[in-house]
Amino acid sequence: MIKEWKIRQALYHKLNNDHTDDLKKIKIEFSKDIIENAIKYFYDKNMGFIYPSKSYVVAICYANWLSKDFKEDFIELLNDKNLLYGNDPYFKTYDEDTYTYDEILKKIMPLDENKGIVPDIRNYYKVEFFI
């Protein structure tokens, strides 16, 4: 059975083709300091688009909210290859990079929804999942 959140996400992407964070249309920076930059995103709103760090941040935020809003398992969500609807080529599942996720999660959980880039991600999430 298809999960409700996946239906909502698919509907959103069928109805909306133009995204402000389309990686083909924005300037992105690459950094090997994945953990450090990911943690900074949770406290600093003006970091730009640093990949793959931002992928981890968005995945953690989405998994956190989906687990609460749709009663799903947090780690199972992080292991879903389509968590970010296939729109982020830098996204890795939890099983693909457990160490990095665990290091980030140790520093930022419980999630403060009022700091860093989290409010922006939350707004996008609410639109994408019709919350």
pLDDT value at residue 76: 98
DSSP string, the chain: ---HHHHHHHHHHHH----TT-TTTS--EE-S-HHHHHHHHTT-S----EETHHHHHHHHHHHHHHHHHS---HHHHHT-TTTTTT--TT---TTTSHHHHHHHHHHHPSP-TTSTTHHHHHHHHHHHTT-
pLDDT value at residue 19: 62
Beta bridge partners of 51: 30
Going 102 to 71 to 66 to 117, the CA torsion angle's sign is negative
Model pLDDT for residues 90-122, shown as the tens digit of each residue: 999 999 999 999 999 999 999 999 999 999 999
pLDDT value at residue 81: 97
Q: Is the pLDDT of residue 54 over 70?
A: yes
Cα within 13 Å of Cα(102), Cβ side: 5
Contact of 104 with 91, CB cutoff 8 Å: no
Beta bridge partners of 72: none
| Averaged confidence pLDDT in the chain | 94
